[in-house]
Amino acid sequence: GAGVSQSPSNKVTEKGKDVELRCDPISGHTALYWYRQSLGQGLEFLIYFQGNSAPDKSGLPSDRFSAERTGGSVSTLTIQRTQQEDSAVYLCASSLALRQGRTDTQYFGPGTRLTVL
Amino acid sequence: EDQVTQSPEALRLQEGESSSLNCSYTVSGLRGLFWYRQDPGKGPEFLFTLYSAGEEKEKERLKATLTKKESFLHITAPKPEDSATYLCAVQPITQGGSEKLVFGKGTKLTVNP
């Protein structure tokens, strides 16, 4: 079946502009995650959704970052007033996670490469 | 604080030369340890999940093992197509039940023909 998809694949923006990144999880997956991968750094957790609610937002680096999920499916990560340090690859993952606390494999999308000039 | 350290950062092997990648971790409680493979410009691809010390899993030329402090990814007789960055991640037990993964920085493996 189809995997996790993300759009756009690349986004170049100017400092101070807002951007929206989209994630379509695997059909039927209830959990959705956003991570960020900066050059030379490991993947950094941003936020976790179970259904439409976000029990863990602890990784969002500032209040310029927000995310929502609608219909238990598509999620959008929004970065307001972008800064150069926001340049990174933003990765989305999804998992079945039918029962909270159960360990399920997270399947990743191809990522969105964000460049802030 | 939950932490994952991978070594070496980079590894060059000749085709057929077996070796091991290390992932050491500190975590208050471990729900699972994951290995992923990442090719340039792509998202991580799932390889293995290990849950408890002593567990081993194999897939083709790869074998993952787990102790209470570290995991090893053994690569037997590697081929050039095994060249990639290998990522290790832990899923800690959390009070809030967060499903987040904590990743290491990865080991970049290059296998020369």
Q: Considering only CB atoms, which chain B residues are within 8 Å of A100?
A: 97, 99
Q: Any bridge partners for residue A88, and if so which?
A: A114
- Determine the average pLDDT of the residues in A14-41: 94
Q: Do the chains contact at A43 and B89, CB–CB below 8 Å? A: yes
Confidence of residue A35 (pLDDT cuts 50, 70, 90): very high
* pLDDT for res A69: 96
Q: Phi/psi class of residue B58: alpha, beta or left (left: φ > 0; alpha: ψ in -120 to 50)?
A: beta
Give pLDDT tens digits for B57-113: 999 999 999 999 999 999 999 999 999 999 999 999 877 667 899 999 999 999 999
The pLDDT value recorded for residue B15 is 97
Structure tokens at A72: 């238990």
Q: Which residues of A touch B104 (CB under 8 A)?
A: 42
What's the burial of B28, exposed, middle or buried (CB within 10 Å: 0-12/13-18/19+)?
A: exposed
Q: What does the pLDDT average to over A77-81?
A: 98
pLDDT band at A101 (very low <50, low <70, confident <90, very high): low
**Confidence class of residue A27 from pLDDT cuts 50, 70 and 90?**
very high
Instruction: Take residue B106 and report the two structure tokens written for it.
Output: 């990865």
Q: Which residue of A has its CA nearest to B101?
A: A45
User: Domains, chain B, ranges and CATH?
Assistant: 3-112 (2.60.40.10)
Question: Is the pLDDT reported for residue A100 higher than 60?
Answer: no
pLDDT for B74:
98
A25 three-class SS: coil
Closest residue by Cα to residue B72 from B16, B7, B27, B26: B7
pLDDT of residue B28: 86
CB contact under 8 A, A104 and B99: yes
If you measure CA to CA, which chain B residue comes closest to A32?
B99
Q: What is the C-alpha to C-alpha distance for residues A110 and A90, in angstroms, rounded to an integer? A: 9
Q: Which of A6, A32, A43, A105 to mutate to test the interface with B (most CBs of B within 10 A)?
A: A43
What 3-state DSSP class applies to A86?
A: helix
User: Per-residue pLDDT tens for A51-75?
Assistant: 999 989 999 999 999 999 999 899 9
Residue A99 pLDDT class (50, 70, 90 cuts) = low
When the pLDDT of each residue in chain A is averaged and rounded to a whole number, the result is 93
Q: What is the mean pLDDT of residues B33-62?
A: 96
Domain boundaries, chain A: 5-97
Greatest extent of chain B over all pairs of C-alpha atoms, in Å: 48
Could you please state the CATH topology (level 3) that the domain comprising A5-97 is classified under. Answer: Immunoglobulin-like (2.60.40)
Residue B60's Cβ-count burial label (10 Å; 0-12, 13-18, 19+) is exposed
Q: What is the DSSP letter of B6?
A: E
What number is the average pLDDT over the span B31-48? 96
